[in-house]
């Protein structure tokens, strides 16, 4: 590796990490100023407790179960949002029919949905439903906008040359809508994860991140509370980064094939 490339990489890493180091120092100084671990633990105590938790099998089971539930809700929202957006773009009555429902889902607070859904489903499935409800409006509205913004000249050309539905989807809609799909995933994934964890805190399904957060609050285990919060932040950042790269790679392959 040349010295120029090495310097460029070091500069990039420095730009990424110095804000993190700054806020960790602020956190540490605030914990020293407060002087009570129950109110605010230091980042070192939170990190040490996180390492201790990571050595427990229950930790990984809880992370895996929470992640699988929320991922299920997110994947369901993606599928439903894409299908219903396509139907609404094709059938005006479907768009009018879904408009009040989508508006209601976007407006109702998460806590209200949690209480209502707990009447119908068990706590184990609560985070799935909440994740779905948080992601669906974003996916639906973004994908519908992308379909409606498709170049009309291309569609008219398809009519003139009598291009079939499959080839229209492949050669016209795919290239036009893929950027909107990428934006929908980026916008909904983080919100889906946070809302799903919040639902677990209220519903308290066994072996979940939300259950551990609630127990940390009840027993005033502030180090546990911050450790699990760090887990949530790390999974959110890592998940969004990996999923964004996966979507970008898939989009790049599709565009190359078109």
pLDDT of residue 2: 55
List of domains in the chain: 43-257 (1.10.3720.10)
The C-alpha angle with vertex 76 and arms to 164 and 228, in degrees rounded to 5, equals 145
pLDDT of residue 209: 93
pLDDT of residue 62: 94
pLDDT of residue 53: 92
pLDDT of residue 149: 76
Distance (Å) of CA 216 to CA 38, 63, 197, 223, 249: 11, 16, 14, 8, 40
Written as one string, the DSSP assignment of the chain is --HHHHHHHHHHHHHHHHHHHHHHHHHHHHHHHH--TTT---HHHHHHHHHHHHTSHHHHHHHHHHHHHHHHHHHHHHHHHHHHHHHHHH-HHHHHHHHHHHHHHHHS-HHHHHHHHHHHS-GGGHHHHHHHHHHHHHHHHHHHHHHHTS-HHHHHHHHHTT--HHHHIIIIIHHHHHHHHHHHHHHHHHHHHHHHHHHHHHH--SSSHHHHHHHHHHTT-HHHHHHHHHHHHHHHHHHHHHHHHHHHHHHHHHHHH-
> Within 13 A of 223's CA, how many CA atoms are on the CB side?
13
pLDDT (tens, 9 = 90+) of the chain, 258 residues, equals 555 665 666 666 667 777 888 888 998 899 899 888 888 898 899 999 999 999 999 999 999 999 999 999 999 999 999 999 989 988 889 999 999 999 999 888 888 888 888 888 888 889 999 999 999 999 999 989 888 876 666 656 655 656 666 656 665 666 677 888 888 888 888 888 889 999 999 888 888 999 999 999 888 889 999 999 999 988 888 888 888 788 777 766 765 655
């Amino acid at each position: 590796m040349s010295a120029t490339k090495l310097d460029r990489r070091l500069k990039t890493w420095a730009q990424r990490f110095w804000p993190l180091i700054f806020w960790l120092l602020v956190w540490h100084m605030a914990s020293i100023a407060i002087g009570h671990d129950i109110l605010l633990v230091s980042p070192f105590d939170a990190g040490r407790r996180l390492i201790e938790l990571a050595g427990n099998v229950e930790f990984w089971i809880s992370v895996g179960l929470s992640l699988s539930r929320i991922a299920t809700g997110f994947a369901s929202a993606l599928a439903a949002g894409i299908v219903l957006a396509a139907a609404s773009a094709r059938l005006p009555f479907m768009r009018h029919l879904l408009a009040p429902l989508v508006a209601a889902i976007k407006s109702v607070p998460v806590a209200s949905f949690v209480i209502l859904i707990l009447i119908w489903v068990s706590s184990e499935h609560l985070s799935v439903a909440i994740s779905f409800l948080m992601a669906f409006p974003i996916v639906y509205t973004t994908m519908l906008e992308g379909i409606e913004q498709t170049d009309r000249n291309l569609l008219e050309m398809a009519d003139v040359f009598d291009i079939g539905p499959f080839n229209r989807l492949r050669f016209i809609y795919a290239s036009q809508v893929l950027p909107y799909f990428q934006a929908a995933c980026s916008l909904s994934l983080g919100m889906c994860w946070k809302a799903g964890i919040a639902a677990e805190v209220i519903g308290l399904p066994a072996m979940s991140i939300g259950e551990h957060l609630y127990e940390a609050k009840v027993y005033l285990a502030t180090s546990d509370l911050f450790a699990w919060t760090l887990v949530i932040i790390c999974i959110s950042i890592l998940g969004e980064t990996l999923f964004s790269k996966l979507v970008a790679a898939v989009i790049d392959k599709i565009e190359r094939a078109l």
